[in-house]
Amino acid sequence: MNDTYDGSAYKSLSTEELKILTEQTRTEEMAEQMSKKKEVWKNLKRNLKALKGPRNILILGDLGSGKSSFINTVIKVLTGRYHSYVNVGNASCHITTCLQRINLEALWDGGDLANKPPNLPVLIDTIGLDNQGSTNASSAEGTSTTNSKLINLIINGKIPEDCDLLHAIKSFGKGRNVKELSADKTKAVDAIIVAIPADNAIIPQNLLEDIHKQATVEKRKVPVFCVVTKMDKCTTDPADEKEKKRTEIAAAIRIDPQRVLLCSNYQPNKPWDDKEDISILEFMCLICDPHITVIDSQRLEFEDPPIEKDNEQSRVQASSESEILGADFWDKAFRWAILAVTLAVVVTLMVHIKNIWSKDYKKASLGGLNTYCLILTGRNTPLDK
């Protein structure tokens, strides 16, 4: 751009000269954008070439967050042509109800195969996750929400393509558990993009918490990015306000602000700025950075301390021995008591038998009987007289 023009110079120019100047400025800006776009494309191709294979990029978001529109926009930017590959809906109902895997390799323009980069990513479109599906979170520690269960299955590649996700959500909501599914490593998620609409002031915090937990706390740790869609519908124009929104959303999802993209979704009937292409290409370049990868964390195996375990065994053993000894003592005491009573009865009987047969006992008995009779009858003469 010619820097010799100032405000006063513009006023002195004729209409034809202003037209020429405007056209020249536009041409220079377009040339500058084209140069930058080529440079970003070069970096993206370098990153894609360094990958071992195409990355599976999962797009998550609330109902009507612009996930499907963003996917169509990315396809347009990467392949050079637009088509509504993914159905676009609104916030009132589910349009995407099944898991869809969009292979960008197959969508590349066949007339430009020479410039097709290797390892183009696979975009995974899913059902809109209602924030309410994350509000039944952890009433008891260790429990999972409806959204977290579904996200976990998708991240680990356990859900096949065209799986009915709406039916899965309803089943999880009824407390049902899915049968054991085998993981397909080729379908496991390598990166997550969370879509948040700019025209919605309410951030789905519960959903973001579930995504953060499944992506960073579980065994498979997946890099998380964010795209703020529908920026064309947002009233925030100043650059500082946009950066404030970027920082706010980055803090809500706990990621670096550099991993947040502010963009407008492509619409065929509206003008498209090449600056949007550059922003999206830079964003995809970051996601496909070979140094930003999934971490399959390994966990140490633990066991109970040996000393505490031995003490517990000793305590249980001592307790058992004490109970056995106590029972044995009372059993012996009861037996000895029975024996003592039996001996006492036997001895008493033997003494009585002996006395019955002795003469002294007979006389004593007769005398005692006479005395008893005298008392009863009032006589003074014994019975034997």
Within 13 Å of residue 221, how many CA atoms lie on the same side as its CB?
9
Count CB neighbours of 39 within 10 A: 13
**Eight-state DSSP code of residue 259:** G
pLDDT in tens, 338-376: 888 888 888 888 877 777 766 555 555 555 555 545 555
Beta-strand relationship, 191-197 and 224-229: parallel
- Residues in the chain, overall count: 385
- Pick the closest to residue 73 from 264, 333, 341, 257 (CA basis): 264
pLDDT at 219 > cutoff 90: no
- Using a 10 angstrom Cβ sphere, with 0-12 exposed, 13-18 middle and 19 or more buried, the burial of residue 161 is exposed
Residues near 380 by Cβ (< 8 Å), separated by ≥ 6?
374
* Reported confidence tier of residue 383, pLDDT bands at 50, 70, 90: very low
* Reported confidence tier of residue 82, pLDDT bands at 50, 70, 90: confident
* Reported confidence tier of residue 282, pLDDT bands at 50, 70, 90: very high
Characterize 74-89 residue by residue with b for buried, 16 or more Cβ atoms within 10 angstroms of its Cβ, and e for exposed: bbbbbbeeeeebbebb
257-285 mean pLDDT: 88
- Using a 10 angstrom Cβ sphere, with 0-12 exposed, 13-18 middle and 19 or more buried, the burial of residue 338 is exposed
- Pick the closest to residue 294 from 58, 88, 97 (CA basis): 58
Three-state SS at 170 = helix
10 alpha-carbon distance from chain centroid: 60
- Tell me which residue has tokens 């006589």: 379
Q: Which two tokens stand for residue 130?
A: 């209602």
Q: Which two tokens stand for residue 255?
A: 């990621």
pTM above threshold 0.85: no
Contact (Cβ atoms closer than 8 angstroms) between residue 86 and residue 125: yes
pLDDT at 255 > cutoff 90: yes
- Tell me which residue has tokens 């979704």: 265
- The string of DSSP letters for 269-328 reads TS---HHHHHHHHHHHHHHT-TTS--EE---------HHHHHHHHHHHHHHHHHHHHHHH
Q: Which two tokens stand for residue 194?
A: 């969370």
More confidently predicted of 17 and 104: 104
- Pick the closest to residue 288 from 72, 117, 84 (CA basis): 117
* Residue 232 one-letter amino acid: D
- Tell me which residue has tokens 């899915």: 178
Contact (Cβ atoms closer than 8 angstroms) between residue 51 and residue 241: no
What's phi and psi for 90, nearest 5 deg? -140, -175
Containing 244, the helix (H) or strand (E) segment is helix 239-253
Contact (Cβ atoms closer than 8 angstroms) between residue 56 and residue 124: yes
pLDDT of residue 380: 53
